[in-house]
Structure 1
Amino acid sequence: MKTKILLMILLSSLTTLTLAKDIELTTGIVQDEFKDFVNEFGTALLFTPMAPAKPLGITGFDVSLDLMITDISDSDAYWKKFFGGSDPYSYIPTPRLHVQKGLPFNIDLGAMYVTVPDSNIKLWGLEAKYAILEGTVATPALSVRASYSKLQGVDDLEIDTQSLDILISKGFLIFTPYAGASMFKVNGSEKSDLVALDDVDETEYRGLLGVQFSPFPLLNINGEFSFGEIPQYGLKIGIRF
């Protein structure tokens, strides 16, 4: 059932995003619930790669609109508490504006900004990627990437994330499949007068698979799947040159 819902979200994302709700703390939240929430919601805020390992090059530039979908445990009671008593949706959609710029020495820098319509969820992030191997016609590209993201707009919460990724990719005509492994940390604390909860610091590991499709010059379409304790699905449409 969730798979069908996911496909509907990806195909009609703009419609789905209007269904967003505010995140807020209510009375009755206990420490274990806060820990689980920060872990799941923090994963939704990660600055995921959405790009192959190959560097952009000194003149390279990439601008895109991304949509990340995070599969949450919506059946757990604590999610309803964090939505102010309302029923949560099965997935958290986070649309983002994503910009990357190539620099000398095989370095790419990037930034992203997220605002979820009809919600108090806002987010910004920064990334830096270094290509150990540029990749050639015959050999793959290999890179390491570090990223940071921080939640804004939710008065009751402070959440930030840090991640370290290793990525490998190899182009074949108009397709560039890529894969990677990530270690990430989610840090969360509450700022509400309604509860008194300890800070949460969680370290997790996961893998990812993706493919970049370039049907026309400059145009790139990416699909990405991150698999671990909390699955994520990504779709990107952008211009790269």
Structure 2
Amino acid sequence: MSHAYSLALVFSLTALTATLTACPAAALDNDPALRGFGTYVPGLGVTKDQGGFEAFSRELGMAMAPVLMAPAETLGVNGFYVGLLEYSATNIDESSSYWKKGTERTLAASQAHALNPEGNPDAEAPDFLHTLRFRMRKGLPYSLEMGAQVTYLVDSELWAFGGEVKWALNEGVDALPVDFAIRGAASRTLGSTELDLTTVGVDLILGRGFGVGGQVNLAPYMAYNPVWIYARSGVLDSTPGIDPELMGSGADGEATFVLDSADQTLHRFVFGARVSTAALNLTPEIVLAKGLQSYNVNLGLEF
């Protein structure tokens, strides 16, 4: 057995142990584990999976970006909205290699399977990423509206903090058949030392509200929503927990790496409808992008 092969085997075994035991106790299943996108080869340094990182951040950005879940019309100058319950489910390519090594749970399972395929099943990523959201919006003069939202990725320590501004260009003009509005929104995802994720989006919204039976107001809407995703990695260690003396002089530095920035654009199309009665409203919504879908619903109060 060659020295390089022996070192590689030791590194793999130690990396698995470190993933299972040396990671912070607070690490949760869906926390990013971007160190999985680098493989250390003794004497050659780290081979980076940049394509995997870009695909991973694209799908995570789809889940963490601000949602619309509101028609083209604003709340009015005195209006205020509070979300009681906002939930989203975003599908991912769970069979892909980047999800099998991109989170704390799947990276540990993938490494265990690689070392002992018979004794350890391969990693299984979830079919969907689930997010919960708290949101507030306030109507302003001149058909403007502003709001803030906080998004939490379930089974993780990731929180996205975002803001939004909407302008209804022809609000109150009954001569036109539809309402048109434009919204800008941005969010920053916090909670990981391995990933820095920022999203910026614009919504071009068409919709129209009308009464049903004198008790309910129905406001269907659709929007084109380009979202720009900016993903950065921290300094990553492809051999966490391994003694530098084992790797030899200078090898510890060779095992650390930083992924290249992943800047991408998602072209999203949004379809939804707000159903409101008195102060209570319910809004189901679907967001479509190439190969991705988000299913959103909110229950909130407007007053």
TM-score bracket for the superposition, by shorter chain length:
0.7 to 0.9
Cα contact 1:167–1:179 (8 A) shared by 2 = yes
1:56 and 2:75 matched: yes
Deviations 1:136-188, CA, capped at 9 Å, x for gaps: 56632210000001100011000000001110111122211001111110000
| Alpha-carbon distance in structure 2 between the residues aligned to 1:207 and 1:162 | 15
Q: Larger deviation: 142-151 or 64-73?
A: 64-73
| Alpha-carbon distance in structure 2 between the residues aligned to 1:227 and 1:118 | 24
1:236 and 2:256 matched: no
Q: Aligned letter for 2:34?
A: L
1:224 and 2:243 matched: no
TM-fit CA distance, 1:66? 1.2
1:181 and 2:219 matched: no
Q: Larger deviation: 60-69 or 132-141?
A: 132-141
Match of 2:178 in 1: 140
TM-fit CA distance, 1:197? 1.2
Cα contact 1:143–1:166 (8 A) shared by 2 = yes
Q: TM (normalized to structure 2)?
A: 0.70
Q: In terms of Rg, which structure is larger?
A: 2
Match of 1:24 in 2: 33
Deviations 1:187-222, CA, capped at 9 Å, x for gaps: 0010032243100110121211000111x3000000
Q: TM (normalized to structure 1)?
A: 0.87
Unaligned runs of 5+ in 1: 1-18
- The RMSD of aligned alpha carbons is 1.7
Identity over aligned pairs, percent: 30
Match of 1:191 in 2: 234
The DSSP-based 3-state class of the residue aligned with 1:201 is strand
Q: Aligned letter for 2:101?
A: K
Cα contact 2:35–2:236 (8 A) shared by 1 = no
Alignment of 1:116-195 (within 5 A): 116-135=153-172, 139-173=177-211, 174-194=217-237, 195=257
The DSSP-based 3-state class of the residue aligned with 2:236 is coil
TM-fit CA distance, 1:47? 0.5
TM-fit CA distance, 1:24? 2.1
The DSSP-based 3-state class of the residue aligned with 2:71 is coil
TM-fit CA distance, 1:115? 2.5
Q: How many residues end up aligned between the 2 structures? A: 222
TM-fit CA distance, 1:46? 0.9
Unaligned runs of 5+ in 2: 1-27, 39-48, 110-123, 212-216, 238-256
| Alpha-carbon distance in structure 2 between the residues aligned to 1:48 and 1:69 | 12
| Alpha-carbon distance in structure 1 between the residues aligned to 2:76 and 2:178 | 16
Which residue of 90, 93, 113 maps to 1:70? 90
The DSSP-based 3-state class of the residue aligned with 1:182 is strand
The DSSP-based 3-state class of the residue aligned with 2:59 is helix
The runs of at least 4 consecutive aligned structure 1 residues that moved more than 4 Å come to 135-138
More helix as a share of residues: 2
Cα contact 2:158–2:191 (8 A) shared by 1 = yes
Cα contact 1:20–1:116 (8 A) shared by 2 = no
Q: Aligned letter for 1:198?
A: D
Cα contact 2:31–2:157 (8 A) shared by 1 = yes
1:212 and 2:274 matched: yes
The DSSP-based 3-state class of the residue aligned with 1:26 is helix
